[in-house]
Chain A
Amino acid sequence: MSQEIFAKLTNSLVDGDPDATFEATKEALAAGIEPMAIIKEGLIPGMNIVGEKFSCGEYFLPDLIIAADGMQKAMVLLEPELLKRQQAIESAGTVLLGTVKGDIHEIGKSLVGTMLSANGFKVHDLGVDVPTETFIAKVQEMKPDILGLSALLTTTMVMQREVIKALAEAGIRDQVKVMVGGAPVTRSWAEEIGADGYAEDAMGAVQIARQLVGK
């Protein structure tokens, strides 16, 4: 019975049917399956298949976005349940994520967030148009392993440099790894501004994040 529902969850993500993911999650909870099992046995395997298909080129951006949407829909149901049970997903590391000030592009940033969550990272998403001071305050408060900065405009890329500078000024640059991304961001830009990691896409972000917490 639960195997069947797990397969349903997994397939709904792989087939890109967020509504089906939502329904299957409801069904699983109604059937009394533990939320943690739903995530581990149903959703994460699905996201992993999507991720693999993306890496090998079978899937592209739309598939990733739609799977992430399904994952998010499911988490809306599951998070309160986890809270009730005072459970937390065991975490590969914590990531503080946001789009820099002046920039409201959220799709890519959220996708990175979802893929990181699906791979066991605990993600705090600060949203878009996040002021540099907020990044600093939140790093001090939450002490994440990684700070992820997204920028989609040539005019807002420079804010990534600002944040890294501000971290140094606040004396906490060595307490957090910084990874940067977004369409105009390049590896050499990341190097120039002294970021610790750069990735071209959401799957790459997961790899980099793993490397960054690996040491």
Chain B
Amino acid sequence: MTSDRFTIHLQPIGRRIQIRPDQSILEAAQLAGVEINSVCGGVGLCEACRVRVIKGQLSDPTLDEQNAFSTDEVRQGFRLACQAYPQSDVVIDIPPESLSTPQRLQLESQQKSQELDPVVRQSTVEIQPPSIEDLRSDVTRLRAALQPEAGNLELDYCVIQKLPGLCRSSGWKIQAIFHQSKLIQILPATPRPRILGLAVDIGTTKVAAYFVDIESGGILAQAGSMNPQIAFGEDVISRISYLINHPDQRKHPNQNLLHQRIIEGLNKLIDKMLSEIADPLISHENIVDAVVVGNTAMHHLFAGLPVEQLGISPYVPAVSEALYIPAKDIGLAIAPAALVYLPPNIAGYVGADHVAMLLPTIYPYYSDSDKKHSKVMAIDIGTNTEISLLNNGKITSCSCASGPAFEGAHIQFGMRAAPGAIEKIQITPEKKILYKTIGDQEPVGLCGSGILDAIAEMYSANLIDSKGMFLNNHPNMHIEGRNMEFVLVPAEESGHHQEIVLTRRDVNEIQLAKGAIRAGINILLAEAGLMAQDLDAFIIAGAFGTYIDIRSAMKIGMFPFVPLERCHQVGNAAGAGARQMLLSKRYRQIASELANQIHYIELSNHPKFADEFSKSLFFPAKELSI
């Protein structure tokens, strides 16, 4: 007997969801809002979505699953969630390593004092109360009170809805909040309300949000989380293919699950920050402006725009100019008529987040007549790495597909920067291996900076050669044909009583990722006729970039050699740029100017890319003493 729906019970979270027999367990989890890791977007490749069936009948294991599990694991009921379809009601156990874990997120970023000329401003209005002789409507009354500002005053519908109640409860004295000439919010006038702005940086992997006091410029709260869309695929393309493969989700781009998840995620961050501030006078209604930055796909998914065309060459965005979207149109839990500002995108894969990142990094050089002729490179390393170069007063940018290897994906013991991740490694001249983990917990895996250190140290210690070949120079080195591994942590020291190793395959993944990054850097430099040594500043932004040891990055050739005093790790520059735009009309203008002015170099058809990439796969000569 076949049924058209089965109930999937997800443990240990305890959520239940009904799905059709042609929907996978991974889809069930996604629908239920349970974030199972899925690096490959559900094609059975990454083995990140391992789950165990406790009860019930699933489809037969696919070839990918047979490859993924030992016979022992098969006996224990292990499956890949993306490959398993229900044939009855089932109970599924999701092991902790398959759940997106709480992460260390990077929020702090350098902050400079800034001129304040916010788009939003407030003023107190005293309205004439009605009487039997004065029967004008409340809105007419408000317009009259606002003279001369009222000339071409636009009133949002939400304001009209609120007006009668507020006037009468606040003794006809209200606070009017304007976005340019539009009245977007009214609040009680006493005590004088604080008005807040929300700045958000939506990364493919991580989301960072800030509350800024619009009138003082101060940061009132900040919060971060994983991007809840991760359950639909680790990289942008995988998420877009999810939508391409689910036509029902595509009908209304502003209702698809990916859009909904990011909005829900942001609303949670907003609630969290409000409860942190814990001021009874500050609520969602006080958040009257917002700036949201992200790469082009994140931007489109947030804005509820179609993304299918971004998944297929030639990757054209639906819109690249700056946008204002009323918060209520997308369900963002701030003042409903607040206009969410989305800065312009540069190209299919260089988004508003990169424009935002340029504001605190390259723009200070660009705008300063004394420094305008400096040569400055700014790089934001992520699943997509964006690079910009200032030379001769002009900015060129490119984007390289470095992939999520530095997020720990495709690395045997790779993990994100969470407690227990090894973040620093050193191999002493006596060949002792020293390491430090996040939260000083027992080690369970390696995060990006740890992987980078491990390879750099192994290379320095002559345990791998310039091609990445493993050399039998250490008791911890195990080489058996194609299987080569170096034991970083013995089983008895680790948190899961398994050896933590780095394999030849892992090194190869990093070679691909760092090769793509270095090829992008080299092409930008070559197009400008510059050498890395000519750079006056080399600015590394983003979470991963903040925690890495730059010397390791240079040793493995991911970065060219630039004197260390010219390298700056600046933290979340995109978030800082978003805050600048929140506080200043001028910065919004600058963002548009920059986006127009930037010369974008498409690497996809660049004649030198393949050559630079192949060369950059190797580790550079060691003589370069760093």
Interface residues of A (CB under 8 A from B): 16, 55-63, 65-66, 69, 101-104, 106-107, 110, 129, 153-157, 184, 186-189, 191
Contact = CB atoms under 8 A, between A and B. Distances in A.
A204 B296 CA distance: 37
A57 B605 contact: no
Interface residues of B, number: 36
Nearest to A153: B237
Contacts of B481: 56-57
Contact of B44 (A62, A107, A188): A188
B56 to A, nearest CB: 23
A68 to B, nearest CB: 9
A65 B617 contact: yes
Interface string B231-266: 001000110110010000000000000000000000
A16 B468 CA distance: 14
Contacts of A184: 40, 43, 45
13 contacts: A55-B482, A57-B484, A62-B511, A62-B617, A101-B313, A104-B313, A104-B605, A154-B41, A155-B241, A187-B63, A188-B44, A188-B63, A191-B63
A61 B617 contact: yes
Nearest to B235: A154
B311 A62 contact: no
Given A57-B484, A62-B511, 5 more contacts: A103-B313, A154-B41, A155-B240, A184-B43, A184-B45
B467 interface: yes
A57 B505 CA distance: 10
A50 to B, nearest CB: 12
Interface of B: 40-41, 43-45, 62-64, 67, 233, 237-238, 240-241, 244, 311-313, 467-469, 481-484, 504, 508, 511-512, 604-605, 610, 613-614, 617-618
A107 B482 contact: no
Given A57-B504, A129-B313, A154-B237, A189 B43 contact: yes
Nearest to B509: A61
Given A102-B312, A107-B613, A155-B311, A60 B62 contact: no
A130 B349 CA distance: 22
B490 to A, nearest CB: 24
B610 A106 contact: yes
A6 B371 CA distance: 57
Contact of B40 (A60, A66, A129, A154): A154
Nearest to A154: B241
Contacts of B504: 57, 60
A65 B40 CA distance: 25
B312 A188 contact: no
Given A58-B469, A60-B469, A62-B618, A155 B508 contact: no
Most chain B CB within 10 A, of A55, A62, A184, is at A62
A62 B240 contact: no
Contacts of B238: 154
